[in-house]
Amino acid sequence: MATRDDGGQPKYRRIADVLREAIRLGDYGPGARLPGENELMTEHGVARMTARQALGVLQTEGIAESRKGAGVFVRAFRPVRRRGVQRLSGELWGAGRSIWAADIEDRDLVVDQIAVTEEPAPERVAHVLDLAPGAPVCVRSRRFVLDGKPVLLAASHLSAALVAGSAITREDTGPGGIYARLAELGHEPAHFREEVRSRMPSQEESRRLSLSAGTPVMLICRTAFTADGRAVEVNEMILDSASYVLEYDFDA
């Protein structure tokens, strides 16, 4: 039975509230170690299980994270700022830079896994690219690592017929990346749509992104369209939500 105080709320929740408020006020900054079970037991006069539950609440909420043998720490939110609009502007990728350059600012985002395959189009991708179900697509799967931590899984899909023989089918797509190559093929992207949602990760996603408990993923599905409205690429991205802020700027 949980110990209750006068307010009818279990004691571990009250202790979690106190710690959460102290974090909000900056008494414990990002990366700071929170009081351990022994300290909470002494300070609040509670059993070890109650102290442990209080720390567990903050971990479930994603506010704190446990490091084996070292204690429970305030999670630092020091995200990459991903600018959805400017990073796809023609000036940037037209000039031969990777579209990812704008994401990094002064941090080091690198691809540590890449696979380029030809596969039958998944139904949702075939639908968007206006291909027959199961038509072959070139799939460029990449994992991006920031400061040694995996933060993003991306799977870009393009019609195999459209990109056959181009550098898009190779690991190294050359200066300007796939959008520069699409332009050379006469399919220059002119318009983009990004759809964003969030959910809890699957076990596989959690493993590939090394996610802590209580960390959702953000999903971005980006579609690139030519000037005449043809969808030429569908890029499905899975992002560690603790590592990203997405930014979109636009005019009224």
Q: Which residues pair with 160 in a beta bridge?
A: none
Backbone dihedral angles phi then psi of residue 109, each to the nearest 5 degrees: -95, 120
Instruction: Please give the single-letter amino acid code of residue 136.
Output: P
> Are the C-beta atoms of residues 225 and 191 closer than 8 Å to each other?
yes
Q: Which of 8, 203, 228, 229 is in the footprint of a second copy by CB under 8 A?
A: 203
The pattern of x and - marking residues 144 through 183 that bind a second copy according to CB under 8 A reads -----------------------------------x----
The phi and psi torsions of 153 (rounded to 5 degrees) equal -110, 130
CB of 177 closer than 8 Å to CB of 216: no
Examine residue 202 and tell whether it contacts a second copy (CB under 8 A). Answer: yes
**Interface with a second copy, residue 201, by CB under 8 A:** yes
Binding residue (CB under 8 A) for a second copy from 62, 120, 136, 174? 62
- CB 195 to a second copy: min, Å: 5
Torsion over CA of 155, 185, 123 and 208, rounded to 10 degrees? Answer: -10
From the list 249, 209, 210, the residue with the least C-alpha distance to 82 is 249
Single out the segment in contact with a second copy by CB under 8 A; choices: 37-45, 108-116, 160-168, 212-220.
Answer: 212-220
Contact footprint for a second copy (CB under 8 A): 13, 20, 57, 60-62, 79, 84-85, 88-90, 179, 188-203, 214-218, 241-242, 244-252
